[in-house]
Chain A
Amino acid sequence: MTQTGINGAPAKSSRKLPTWLGLLLADKFATAAVIFLSLVLVAALIGPALLDEVAGKVAFRSRNLAPFQLDHGVLMILGSDSLGRPILARIIVAAQNTMMIAGFTVVAASCIGATLGLIAGYSRKFLSDAILRLADVIMSFPSLLLAVIVLYMLEPAVGNLVIVLAITRIPVYLRTTRAEVLEIRERMFVQAAKVMGASSWRIAFVHILPMVLPTLLTIATLDFAFVMLAESSLSFLGIGIQPPEITWGLMVAQGRPYMNQAWWLSFWPGLFIVLTAMSLNLISNWLRIVLDPTQRWRLEQRRETDHG
């Protein structure tokens, strides 16, 4: 086996834009996704504060308005429901719960899953197997049904919802982390660190973890979309979020009886779910390319040609 190499290439030259931003702009889809997602996040953060009143105000004069009519005000652009509440406002307000539940779930699942995965990947066979079995057991449960049952028996509070969803997602992070750790462990720079006398802690946190984080981030982004869809399904079935709390999934369910007269009640919230999930997918794809040094050149190439 012979080696190819660049002889002492110069360090990265400075660019006008920070590297990340430049790489992002090279991928038009990812850029659009980030913009959309930022809007959603803004809505989630300040939406309820700004629009809670408007979203909850009952106004019989403007009930069941079809979308794209502006005579009752900009907020009615997506239509209104049988109580006269503007759909756009409700969607913005509902963004908070939708994002929060998915967010907490992903954070909890990823932290616990990654930690367990790190332990499983790095410890003795017995402990490693035991943890893996635990993950397998969780994975083989029919997750949606388990969630339904548990929530039914324990009552569907937001806290329970997050816990149940998080538990079903832990195995994904656990298995991926464990597989990565096992692979990285055998790499020579880890071996070299061991020969130098590095402790297991040092190896795990200084050498291995930084290499696992990119993959985790990519998965977490995708997972966010999955959890959002799962929560929506549960809320749709009536087992998730309960009124007066509101999420997009619940909005779709609430619009169901009115499908024939007011299709927009279910359409818009569902569309937002789709767009958010798509954005997350696109960002996840972008992350995967950016964080992989061997693939990065695709984006860098486009960036170079853009800047001439």
Chain B
Amino acid sequence: MAEHVLDVSNLSVEFHTAGKVVEAVRNVSFHLDRGETLAILGESGSGKSVSASAVMDLIDCPPGRITSGSIHYRGEDLLHMPAGRRREINGRKIAMIFQDPLAHLNPVYPVGWQIAEAMRVHGMPAGDARRRTIELMGRVGIRDPEQRARAYPHQFSGGQRQRLMIAMALGYDPDVLIADEPTTALDVTVQLQILRLLQALRDETGMGLLLITHDLGVVAEMADRAIVMNAGEVVETGAVRDVLRHPGHPYTQKLVAAVPGQGSIRQGAVSDAEPILSVRSLNKHFGAYHALRDVSFDLHAGEAVAIVGESGSGKSTTARAIVRLDDADSGSVHYGGRDLCALGEKEMFRLRRDIQMIFQDPTQSLNPRMSVFQIISEAWRIHADILPRNRWRERVLELLDLVGMQAEHADRYPHQFSGGQRQRIAIARALAMQPRIIICDEAVSALDVSVQSQVIRLLDNLRDRLGVAFIFIAHDLPVVRDFADRVVVMKEGAIVEKGDVVQIFEAPAHAYTQALLAASLEPDPDRRGGQHRESA
């Protein structure tokens, strides 16, 4: 049997932190050859990144330690070779790109210099390195590479920066490219472009691609084989079709089932009654930047309206304008017969109880120094007329139960909970005000896929039981499919399409909506890029 280009066998890595030893990776094995794409699929804490970091010698030892296993590159033992030889292989024959390209590029040096450095350090003369840099920059789709090579990372967009990182990795035609969540931080439409680029480069150069991701859509789109990791172990491996279509392990089954946007679209209840919230012609400028252009939509009682858009679309700005966190320049928000935008602080105070908000980052949205009880009951401290003090504890426990938490959680602190639990606490806090409308500003975007679906189910549940209306803000379409009644699509501050959820998903009218839909990757390997593939 010919040896694999990259062969990881029984790898175990542990970390010493906070007086404990954490086994981040346990007996993980996988292999990769040229021309094929292997996806490592897992949620956060699964150990997928650590496994890849071990290959690239990026684990800090201490506090990390490789306790067992081997990593072979073309038969050579990476873990026990002299540092000089290892460095030769890293960057030349095995290259890596990372998740957040802005943080991973040195802000004080021109990008051309940084890309050429990847080649210079391995002995290429400076002139050749420069030429190759320009060539690579052009190949990855940067226009005007001669000029742009002198620019700095902050002068590029997110997608462009990732292209630059890819260029940086390709200098010596590596055998293996490791991509650690390369598109997670990017907009959905940009993500598709980057993945296409990776595919094209892979086909051109014949390199092997090790793709680390939590997104089943990406796995389905890109990979030939996949391994699934959970809590440091490999729970399933196989060809992509098998793993996604017929998952064997319960964890994989859970993951596959949790992917949003499967099954039938929610048959939204379209109400003819008067809307409870009417947003009309909101406009906002940040200096010269026109953030909101004439944004208008309605919300009916008990209904869920999703606002979908990529970064810079104005969706969060709209939400903040409605709750008067950042006032709009012009326009109106009608609620209960009044225009919220025209109210003074005192009058707004009385209405605040009816409209509450849940934020994106559960780590940050709870005061780390307040207990869960204090966080939830703060609502009643501020609005003394909702609930008498002697009933606070009782009600906090009721709310915790409503959101699926336990009574003993009331006296703990936010850092003792997981992301999903913190988001539940945030929901309980919002519910404490007994609102009629809850605005979720990317409330599930920062959560693991399996947790996302739980939280969305909870919100759905609350809508049915309590009749609360929702404005649900998201950056891609699939996640709203199960939850929204109507969808509003925004781009660059303006609404490009509005309609009920069935229409948006099945017959999108605007080109941008169509593009957004097309860029949402389905976890079905036979539906790559909209084409059907013959079974492998």
Contact = CB atoms under 8 A, between A and B. Distances in A.
B382 interface: yes
Interface stretch (B33-41, B264-272, B445-453): B445-453
A5 B421 contact: yes
Interface residues of A, number: 33
Interface string A180-191: 000000011101
Contact of B419 (A3, A195, A198, A301): A3
B262 interface: no
B208 interface: no
Contact of B383 (A6, A197, A210): A197
Interface string B420-432: 1110001001000
A303 B214 CA distance: 37
Given A1-B185, A3-B446, A300 B367 contact: no
Nearest to B439: A195
Contacts of A8: 406, 409, 412, 416-418, 421
A210 B367 CA distance: 10
A186 B237 CA distance: 44
A211 B369 contact: yes
Contact of B359 (A7, A9, A191, A301): A191
Contacts of A13: none
Contacts of A197: 348-349, 352-353, 382-383
Contact of B378 (A4, A193, A300, A304): A193
A3 B362 contact: yes
A187 B362 CA distance: 11
Contacts of B81: none
Nearest to B367: A189
Contacts of B426: 192
Given A6-B418, A11-B416, A198-B382, A192 B429 contact: yes
A1 B446 contact: yes
20 contacts: A2-B184, A3-B44, A4-B44, A5-B45, A7-B417, A7-B418, A7-B421, A8-B418, A9-B416, A189-B364, A189-B366, A191-B365, A193-B367, A195-B325, A196-B356, A197-B349, A197-B383, A211-B369, A293-B415, A304-B19
B238 interface: no
A211 B447 CA distance: 26
B451 A3 contact: yes
B359 A2 contact: no
Nearest to A192: B365
B196 to A, nearest CB: 23
Given A189-B365, A207-B367, A305-B19, A5 B214 contact: no
The interface residues of chain B, by DSSP majority, are classed as loop
B469 to A, nearest CB: 16
Interface of B: 17-19, 43-45, 184-185, 214, 323, 325, 348-349, 352-353, 355-357, 359-369, 378-379, 382-383, 406, 409, 411-412, 415-422, 426, 429, 433, 445-448, 451
Contacts of A297: 17-19
B417 A5 contact: yes
Contacts of A210: 369
Contacts of A202: 382
Contacts of B366: 189, 192
Interface string A197-216: 11100100001001100000
* A-B pairs with lowest CB-CB distance, top 5: A5-B418, A3-B419, A304-B19, A188-B365, A297-B18
Contact of A2 (B409, B416, B417, B448): B448
A191 B429 CA distance: 13
Nearest to A301: B19
A4 B45 contact: yes
B418 A191 contact: no
Contacts of A207: 367
A133 interface: no
A72 interface: no
Nearest to A9: B416
Contacts of B421: 5, 7-8
Given A1-B445, A191-B365, A293-B368, 9 more contacts: A3-B418, A5-B45, A5-B422, A8-B416, A11-B411, A192-B359, A194-B325, A196-B383, A198-B378
Contacts of B367: 189, 193, 207
A188 B416 contact: no
A189 B352 CA distance: 16
Interface string A279-308: 000000000000001000100110111000
A210 B365 CA distance: 16
B359 A188 contact: yes
A282 B489 CA distance: 56
A300 B419 contact: no
A90 B433 CA distance: 64
Contacts of B447: 2-3
A1 B356 CA distance: 24
Interface string A1-37: 1111111110100000000000000000000000000
A250 B446 CA distance: 60
B379 A196 contact: yes
A12 to B, nearest CB: 9
Contact of A195 (B356, B363, B451): B356
Given A2-B214, A4-B44, A5-B419, A196 B325 contact: no
Nearest to A11: B412
A202 to B, nearest CB: 7
A196 B352 contact: yes
Contacts of A1: 184-185, 445-446
Contacts of A187: 364
A131 to B, nearest CB: 23
Contacts of B406: 8
Contacts of B214: 2
Contacts of B348: 197
Nearest to B429: A192
Given A195-B325, A210-B369, A3 B352 contact: no
Contacts of A192: 357, 359, 365-366, 426, 429
Nearest to A211: B369
Nearest to A202: B382
B419 to A, nearest CB: 3
A198 B19 CA distance: 40
Contacts of B379: 196
A211 B369 CA distance: 8
Nearest to A200: B345
Contacts of A191: 325, 357, 359, 365
Nearest to B383: A197
Nearest to B44: A2
A2 B382 contact: no
Given A2-B44, A3-B446, A4-B44, A188 B420 contact: no
